[in-house]
Amino acid sequence: MPRLTRNSRESGPVFPGVVSSQQSSSESRTSIGDTSSASTTTNTVVQLGTSTMPALSTGDIVTNVVQVLQGQLTSLVQNAIDAQLSSSASGSSGANCEVSSQAQLSTVTSRTASFVHNLATSAGNFSTLGSAPFRSSATSEASTGMPRMASCLANSTGRIIPNFLNTFTAPISSSVWSSGGGYSTPEVALASQPSVVPSLPSVLDLAGYSSAEQLLPQSLHGHGPSPFIVGPGYAPISAKIVNAIVSGKYINLGDLLPENALVVDDFSEPQLLLDGRLVLTGSARKPRKEITDILSWVEAFTVFSVIVCSYFPNRWRDLSSYKLLILRTYRQFAGYAWCDYDKAFRQHAAATRLLDWSELNVQLFNFHTAGSAYRGPNRLTTASSSSRSEPNGNRNHDCSVKCFSWNKGRCVAPSAVCRYKHACTLCSAAHREIECPSVSAASNSPFYSGSNGPVGVNKKRYLQPVSLVSPLKLRQFTTELQCHPDRSKVDYVLNGIAHGFNIGCSPQVQLTAASKNKASAYEHPEIVDAYLQNEVSLGRVAGPFETPPLPDLHISSFGVIPKSGQPGKWRLILDLSSPHGFSVNDSIDPDQFSLQYIQFDDVVAMVAKLGRGALMAKFDVQRNVAVLPFQRYLLGMKWRGKFYVDLVLPFGLRSAPFFFNSIADLVEWILRNNYMIRDLLHYLDDYITAGPPCRPDCARNLVVASSVCQSLGLPLHPDKTVGPTTCLIVLGIELDSVLQIARLPATKLLALKGLFTEWSARKWCTRVQLESLIGKLHHACLVVWPGPNLMNSRGSPLPAEEWTLCLFATWLADDLKAASIKVYLSAVRALHIEQGFPDPLSGCLRLQRVLKGIKRCQGSSSDKRLPVTPAILRAIYSHLDLSQYDAVMFWAACCLAYFGFLRSSEFTVPNGATFSQALHLSVHDIAADQRVAPSRIQVNIKVSKTDPFRQGCILTLGQGRSPLCPVEAMLNFLELRGGSAGPLFVRSNGVPLTRTYLSERLRRLLSDAGIPGNFSSHSFRIGAATSAALAGVPDHLIQTLGRWSSSAYLTYIRTPLSCVYF
């Protein structure tokens, strides 16, 4: 075999994942000697410090193998054919030998092309390739931190883009492989999942591939993965299991345990020759150890991770995150919830070709943790300290430990077989916990708190399961929603009904407990006592408890307010928004639980189409929507020194309206489609129905809705069921179908008049009072039209006279430029048009002369910002330490800003602003033209200065000469950044790139380079326009590239001194 050497010359600073493109083609190739020396092999030697060691790095092996296959393919195949011909039978004819040789050559060439393609397509997911015997130089690779394969392929066979990056020539997001080897798109695309299989080069023929496994990485020695050597004390993992793991198939982790490794590989069957026939005799199967404890799982999953990472090194991060997730689940939930979730998740990952395991599958997690005892967010319950602990690995029957799963109705094993005792966890009798007489007796008491007895006993803090807290009937909902078209929404609601809804609290927010309740609670203590007593008796609140019933119980303050329209009725509001920045609501993403309510005009349109005298009715459903059991610790209260826990979604929770509306949407669909109630609308849990006049339709709708809601576990509120009638109050507005009018109720109109009298005497107010007044007036404006313009008071400045505008302009001239004064005058024009007045600036000749005079007095101020030229870009590049992540990020931002003519607002996040996926640049806005050796990238600019309607713009950037290459800079940065959500340019401390940081670092770098001056983040855009003009780019094309809507681009072009001299 020819001697392979690696060129170590590099031009310019190189950071991980990038090799300088200034190397010549001859330098980047390996030296290939005479093919006659194929029997000798010399390993490459890499100098590390003062010691020399053989560097069988997988990146070098891949590079050398690819180059040998490319350069010496024909000669190697010809040698193999000659050897085959020399050993063939002498009777074979020359023609047959020639045909056989051509067939073998075609076969070997096809396999070699497949192998080269496997290496190329695999590099998007990992930086090195190889199995355990080739990992002798792992230490050297880890010390340098350079993904060798990505850098080698970037030099020789073409760079591989990260797998999370889409392509704009052949996008394949959310696709999976079909059994026939082609793509098939699932019905419900996983939006959060990256592309599973990279796009294929057009030069490869897929006709020869029978399945997706043929495109997966193959071992460097042999036709598939070889047995894997784990280490001392572990038997080799069979090639069959390694192939299943590498192919993404589901395996039993127990097969990776040391006790089972040899058992799995033992496929030999004893043979016996009887009467000249070969008979296979059955062999006694060896006992297998199953994974029943967390230590065995950690051991097996560690072996699994080592095998995966040996082929896909970039998977170590998400596999480690997944391991931590399972360990956290084991700590938080008793029983086998962690094991059940692990099996279900890995089966789901194998079915969907999921490559990122770091994200929690909420649906599977909620399903398998529901009903398990919650140990707390940060508590570790050992097997010796909890009766609901994890099994210790044996299957011996332990009569001292009660079976928690049997008490919840999940264990179906006979009592003699189950290793735990089938007895009540409350009284140790031979019945389940939910059937315990002590619970039944306590539940009949008006002070039942969900504990083991009446209030004050508090011997065992037992909180009711979801099935007892929520009256919603899962089976009935499932039956009624069988034909609903949106299955994802149905599954989401059904899962919440069965196991409780996930309120969406993020653990990243540090919560601060409230020290006291609201003043209204102490002003009306009897109201609070009666309210808590009623909620406890209904099972919606658990308590009172002498000590916190849950670990890390978070206490929030609460207050009481009277219910509008219901004298003597009060509502308790749990304040989950204080203290600001450290509350439960602060940990909930508002965008995730946003919703759109119906408009009042929708109700008016429904009634109006039925004609004069249409009958109307409304009803309100009583809802007890349970939260996930392991999130109950977030809804704690404290009153009179006792602790309470809210078991249902409380008023004041940010995500509660979303859950109420989701259930109400499905109930409306059921009534409309299954029971033919056509005229029906809902606002959260308030439903409005109507029918034609003098017909029983409306009454029938009300009766049917009451019966259906009762069957669903949503009984109607008796005090809020009104109708059928021709005059109904809907959303605070009174509708009269006979008079065909909408008006304010008399009580609300009288209250508004009192507000006007009160506010006319006020001299000051707080912001909260002003917002409350504005809200009430805005609601009244739905039916109260604004008065005519003639009713404006004499002191109104509208319409403004020309002389007033001239005085206004001269007053602004003391602090503002003439251009800014025009902006203020545009605002005055908009105010006039909105109020129904004509344009005040039209025909104002004197005002125009005033503005010209102001501009002449102020003088024209030249733009002193300097452009960033290619020479300055090279200076920036040479003064950056590209071994640091922040430097790589900064260089990518500079290249993107310069070559894309970008404004600073188009690729940075404003100071103090929160990142918005709809406004700011993210990873998903970048795409490449192809997976291998991309030459172009596309950037999706969603919002810009000249795009007021946010139509967006896609920029295409081509490949340039290194180091001034935006494609190379962006791909280098994306390899380090990863595909996580968030802003595209984010610093190592997690803070998004801002305009201030970009300008300050730019000036600091140029100052160190000896280039002081007035440089800013806008200098890249100025430099791009200037460089384009010097290169002879036409003016109209410069305007198009920079997306200027006027001739303002001309002010960006700087004329260098070199153009002045002849």
As a whole number of angstroms, the distance between CA 896 and CA 970 comes to 8
Torsion-angle region of residue 666: left (phi > 0), alpha (psi -120 to 50) or beta? Answer: alpha
What pLDDT does residue 894 have? Answer: 93
Helix (H) or strand (E) holding 664: helix 656-669
Q: What is the mean pLDDT of the chain?
A: 72
The number of C-alpha atoms within 13 Å of 439 and in the hemisphere containing its C-beta is: 20
How far CA 704 is from CA of 223, 427, 660, 672, 697, in Å, comes to: 68, 44, 21, 11, 10
In a domain, 625, yes or no: yes
Rounded to an integer, the average pLDDT of 764-773 is 88
Is a pLDDT exceeding 80 seen at residue 948? Answer: no
Question: For 84-98, what is each residue's pLDDT tens digit?
Answer: 445 444 444 444 444
> 522-561 in b/e burial notation, b at 16+ Cβ within 10 A?
eebeebbeebbeebbbebbbbbbbeebbbeebbbbbbbbe
How far CA 295 is from CA of 260, 302, 307, 320, 1059, in Å, comes to: 15, 11, 19, 15, 75
What pLDDT does residue 543 have? Answer: 82
Residue 809, C-beta contacts closer than 8 angstroms, at least 6 positions apart: 821, 825, 847, 850, 851, 854
φ, ψ at 264 (rounded to 5°)? -65, -35
Maximum CA extent, the chain: 123
**Does 504 share its domain with 427?**
no
In a domain, 328, yes or no: yes
Is a pLDDT exceeding 80 seen at residue 293? Answer: yes
Rounded to an integer, the average pLDDT of 942-960 is 84
Sheet of 636-639, strand order: 541-545, 642-646, 636-639
Query: ∠757-761-763 over CA atoms, to 5°?
Result: 140
CATH, residue 490:
3.10.10.10
In the 8-state DSSP scheme, what is residue 149? Answer: H
Rounded to an integer, the average pLDDT of 938-964 is 85
**Does 415 share its domain with 496?**
no
In a domain, 410, yes or no: yes
**Does 498 share its domain with 422?**
no
State the pLDDT confidence band at 180, using cuts at 50, 70 and 90.
Answer: very low
The number of C-alpha atoms within 13 Å of 550 and in the hemisphere containing its C-beta is: 28
End position of a domain, from candidates 637, 671, 705 = 671
- State whether residue 965 is helix, strand or coil: coil
Torsion-angle region of residue 1007: left (phi > 0), alpha (psi -120 to 50) or beta? Answer: alpha
In the 8-state DSSP scheme, what is residue 119? Answer: H
State the pLDDT confidence band at 417, using cuts at 50, 70 and 90.
Answer: low
Question: For 668-723, what is each residue's pLDDT tens digit?
Answer: 999 988 888 888 998 887 889 999 988 888 999 889 988 898 888 887 877 788 88
Percent of the chain with pLDDT over 90: 8
In a domain, 970, yes or no: yes
Nearest to 476 by CA among 461, 463, 494: 494
Query: ∠221-223-226 over CA atoms, to 5°?
Result: 60
* Cβ atoms within 10 Å of 875's Cβ, excluding its own: 18
What pLDDT does residue 409 have? Answer: 61
In a domain, 707, yes or no: no
* Cβ atoms within 10 Å of 992's Cβ, excluding its own: 20
Which residue's entry shows tokens 């596999």?
Answer: 319
**End-to-end alpha carbon distance in the chain:** 62
Residue type, 924: H
**Does 582 share its domain with 471?**
yes
Is a pLDDT exceeding 80 seen at residue 550? Answer: yes
Number of domains, the chain: 4
What pLDDT does residue 588 have? Answer: 86
Residue type, 580: H
What pLDDT does residue 372 have? Answer: 59
What pLDDT does residue 890 have? Answer: 93
**Does 476 share its domain with 546?**
yes
Q: Cβ distance 961 to 21 under 8 Å? A: yes
End position of a domain, from candidates 610, 643, 671 = 671
End position of a domain, from candidates 627, 648, 671 = 671
Torsion-angle region of residue 503: left (phi > 0), alpha (psi -120 to 50) or beta? Answer: alpha
**Does 419 share its domain with 349?**
no
In SS3 terms, 724-741 reads as EECEEEECCEEEECCCCE
State the pLDDT confidence band at 1035, using cuts at 50, 70 and 90.
Answer: confident
How far CA 460 is from CA of 426, 450, 455, 473, 552, in Å, comes to: 8, 9, 12, 28, 17
What pLDDT does residue 145 have? Answer: 37
Specify the pairing of strand 398-402 against strand 557-562: unpaired
State the pLDDT confidence band at 891, using cuts at 50, 70 and 90.
Answer: very high
Question: For 457-516, what is each residue's pLDDT tens digit?
Answer: 333 445 777 777 888 888 888 888 988 888 888 888 888 888 888 888 876 677 888 888
Report, in angstroms and rounded to the nearest whole number, the Rg of the chain calculated over CA atoms: 37
What pLDDT does residue 689 have? Answer: 92
In a domain, 887, yes or no: yes
Torsion-angle region of residue 89: left (phi > 0), alpha (psi -120 to 50) or beta? Answer: beta
Question: For 967-1017, what is each residue's pLDDT tens digit?
Answer: 999 999 998 888 888 889 998 888 889 988 988 899 888 888 888 888 888
The number of C-alpha atoms within 13 Å of 928 and in the hemisphere containing its C-beta is: 24
As a whole number of angstroms, the distance between CA 680 and CA 670 comes to 11
Which domain, by its residues, includes 1025?
A: 870-1059
What pLDDT does residue 895 have? Answer: 93
**Does 359 share its domain with 403?**
no
**Does 429 share its domain with 317?**
no
In a domain, 313, yes or no: yes
Rounded to an integer, the average pLDDT of 822-847 is 89
Nearest to 390 by CA among 431, 340, 435, 335: 335
State the pLDDT confidence band at 616, using cuts at 50, 70 and 90.
Answer: very high
Range from 35-39, 101-105, 162-166, 629-633 carrying the lowest mean pLDDT? 35-39
**Does 245 share its domain with 336?**
yes
Rounded to an integer, the average pLDDT of 315-319 is 88
Nearest to 618 by CA among 693, 708, 727, 694: 727
What pLDDT does residue 388 have? Answer: 36
Which residue's entry shows tokens 């290619």?
Answer: 870
Q: Torsion over CA of 813, 816, 819 and 825, rounded to 10 degrees?
A: -70
Query: ∠10-14-16 over CA atoms, to 5°?
Result: 125
> 639-677 in b/e burial notation, b at 16+ Cβ within 10 A?
beebbbbbbbbbebbbbbbbbbbbbbbbbbbbbeebeeb
What pLDDT does residue 912 have? Answer: 66
How far CA 18 is from CA of 151, 345, 382, 972, in Å, comes to: 5, 36, 48, 6
Is a pLDDT exceeding 70 seen at residue 547? Answer: yes
Residue 57, C-beta contacts closer than 8 angstroms, at least 6 positions apart: 46, 128, 137, 140, 141, 148
In a domain, 50, yes or no: no
What pLDDT does residue 825 have? Answer: 92
Rounded to an integer, the average pLDDT of 45-74 is 43
Rounded to an integer, the average pLDDT of 45-58 is 38
Rounded to an integer, the average pLDDT of 319-337 is 86
**Does 608 share its domain with 522?**
yes
**Does 323 share its domain with 428?**
no
**Does 527 share its domain with 661?**
yes
